[in-house]
Amino acid sequence: MFEKVSTALDFQAREREVIKFWNENNIFKKSMDQRAGADVWTFFDGPPTANGKPHIGHIETRALKDLFPRYWTMKGKSVTRKAGWDTHGLPVELEVEKALGLDGKEQIEAYGIEPFIKKCKESVWKYKGEWERMSERVGYWADMENPYITYDNDYIESEWWSLKKIAEKGLLYKGHKVVPYCPRCGTALSSHEVSQGYKEVKERSAVVRFKVKDQDNTYIYAWTTTPWTLPSNVALCVNPDETYARFDYDGRTIIMGDALIEKVLGEGVQVCNKITFPGIELKGLRYEPLFDFQYEAIKGVDNEKNAWTVVCDDYVTMTDGTGVVHQAPAFGEDDARVGRENHIPFLQLVNARGEMTAVTRWAGVFVKKADPMILEDLEKEGKLVSAPYFTHDYPFCWRCDTPLIYYARSTWFIRMTALRDNLLKNNNTVNWYPDNIREGRFGNFLENVIDWGLSRERYWGTCASAARSTWSAPGRSFGSWATSTASPCRRTSSCTGPTSTP
């Protein structure tokens, strides 16, 4: 009895029979031929990477993507279904690096870029067979015989063509922007990549005293969660509308946010001669840099004379720290903006490998390792008020597990912000299932769209997100643009960094 039932319900056997029938009778080709000359509906598959094995998630996307071409074919359209292969990007490089026993960009360059990319090109077809087997087995119909391949010159030319069109529209620009950056991979990461690597870490922050210039024994207290950015400090920022205080305590005159005195100096602390005033009154106040080598480092930098000045901006809050935010425009998005707006010089005393530069006392030390050394030196010199531990979510490279740093790079951008209204308008014409995605997840993503940093500073081709968005494939929903403003997580109130992305 059981045997009979199980034979009748052997789905696998049935499926194999159907596939066999399709293959023997050229059904896919026939379904195309029968509709030759009909209205065209085009589908370019978002290309998978064939140097990784297909997994269960790919089966879901293949099945879903197969629905639309089949539906439109049944409605009588001629549906071009072009398969694609994404052959480029960091994952390929990392595989090859591992295989060759190389570690980082310097070793790749010593090995030679030409032979390196040759190895990359060879490695990309590793699991092509498994991809083809999986695609056939789940009944996915696409033209796999003539796929588009991202390393083909035809394809690369199309990318350059789109980039040229974008440039002609004035939407391409080169900027200096703070980006989430992996110092080991030597590349900026998209916010989507960043969102994949958050871990909760416990680190030491620092409340530091900056000596006010030409005022005896008077100090501004500022807070940072990244002590390694202090050598690159060029300004302090206060909120113009919040209340600040100047008072005497423990033999010093101190300036800081009024609301945070107890939080910083201890509950019930008794201070003397306190006066309060709005932050705007601190604007233009000059102070001395924390380290002598900063005088040397600033020489010849644009706006050099404006270094170490108090500036105002309303992004500063009274929720954490001291109400005074240390500014290092090379390592924070807000800092970079405030620096630009106030003509503050730009100091970047960390190299592209994430090490302190030679001008500092900690030359060659990785930033995170430099943190305790910097705190120790500040302590010795009487410039450290406290170094409380705090817990926050910090991003790590999803590929190599190195802590990311926020780092100013010269980068090419596509001005997505200029397209926001148009994107929103078009989004309203899309048939979304479920309906709430239009205003919700995708609508929010478009509302908050930021300029798209394209540069990757790697060797093997363009990034997949650039490749994919070039093809406007019907049925594709989410692009891979940066979707949230990455928070440098240095002293913000929530300290959670970017939210997750679609």
| Contacting residues toward Zn ion, per CB under 5 A | 182, 184-185, 397, 399-400, 402
**Would you say how long the chain is, in residues?**
502
How far apart are CB 198 and Zn ion at their closest, in Å? Answer: 14
Reading the block at residue 446, the tokens are 């478009």
Rank residues 69 and 180 by Cβ distance to Zn ion and give the closer one. Answer: 180
Rank residues 62 and 184 by Cβ distance to Zn ion and give the closer one. Answer: 184
How far apart are CB 332 and Zn ion at their closest, in Å? Answer: 20
CA distance 438 to 441: 7
Rank residues 199 and 274 by Cβ distance to Zn ion and give the closer one. Answer: 199
- Residues 15-54 as b/e (b if ≥16 CB within 10 A, e otherwise) read eeeeeeebeeeeeeeebbeebeeeeebbbbbbbbbbbbeb
Taking alpha carbons only, the member of 112, 44, 83, 140 closest to residue 471 is 44
How far apart are CB 149 and Zn ion at their closest, in Å? Answer: 26
Residue 49, by phi and psi: left (phi above 0), alpha (psi -120 to 50) or beta? beta
Given a contact cutoff of 8 angstroms between Cβ atoms, the answer to whether 185 and 397 are in contact is: yes
> CA 149 → CA 158, 256, 461, distances in Å?
12, 58, 12
How far apart are CB 211 and Zn ion at their closest, in Å? Answer: 38
CA distance 180 to 465: 16
Rank residues 109 and 439 by Cβ distance to Zn ion and give the closer one. Answer: 109
Reading the block at residue 185, the tokens are 């991979």
- Residues 348-379 as b/e (b if ≥16 CB within 10 A, e otherwise) read bbbeeebbbbeebebeebbbbebbeebbebbe
Rank residues 97 and 377 by Cβ distance to Zn ion and give the closer one. Answer: 97
Q: Which residue has the tokens 């090859």?
A: 96
Burial class (CB in 10 A: 0-12, 13-18, 19+), 491: buried
* Count of CB atoms situated within 10 Å of the CB of 227: 25
How far apart are CB 88 and Zn ion at their closest, in Å? Answer: 17
How far apart are CB 328 and Zn ion at their closest, in Å? Answer: 22
Residue 203 pairs in a beta bridge with: 390
Rank residues 92 and 182 by Cβ distance to Zn ion and give the closer one. Answer: 182
How far apart are CB 193 and Zn ion at their closest, in Å? Answer: 9
Rank residues 193 and 242 by Cβ distance to Zn ion and give the closer one. Answer: 193
Q: Which residue has the tokens 């010849």?
A: 300
How far apart are CB 180 and Zn ion at their closest, in Å? Answer: 11
CA distance 159 to 466: 8
Rank residues 155 and 331 by Cβ distance to Zn ion and give the closer one. Answer: 331
How far apart are CB 400 and Zn ion at their closest, in Å? Answer: 3
Rank residues 197 and 332 by Cβ distance to Zn ion and give the closer one. Answer: 197
Rank residues 188 and 489 by Cβ distance to Zn ion and give the closer one. Answer: 188
Could you write out the three-class secondary structure of 373-421?
Answer: HHHHHHHHCCCEEECCEEEEEEEECCCCCCECEEEEEEEEEECHHHHHH
How far apart are CB 369 and Zn ion at their closest, in Å? Answer: 17
Given a contact cutoff of 8 angstroms between Cβ atoms, the answer to whether 370 and 181 are in contact is: no
Rank residues 41 and 394 by Cβ distance to Zn ion and give the closer one. Answer: 394
Rank residues 120 and 473 by Cβ distance to Zn ion and give the closer one. Answer: 120
How far apart are CB 357 and Zn ion at their closest, in Å? Answer: 21
How far apart are CB 107 and Zn ion at their closest, in Å? Answer: 14
Q: How many helices, marked H, and strands, marked E, lie in the chain?
A: 17, 18
Reading the block at residue 260, the tokens are 């945070």
Output the residue with the shortest Cβ distance to Zn ion. 397
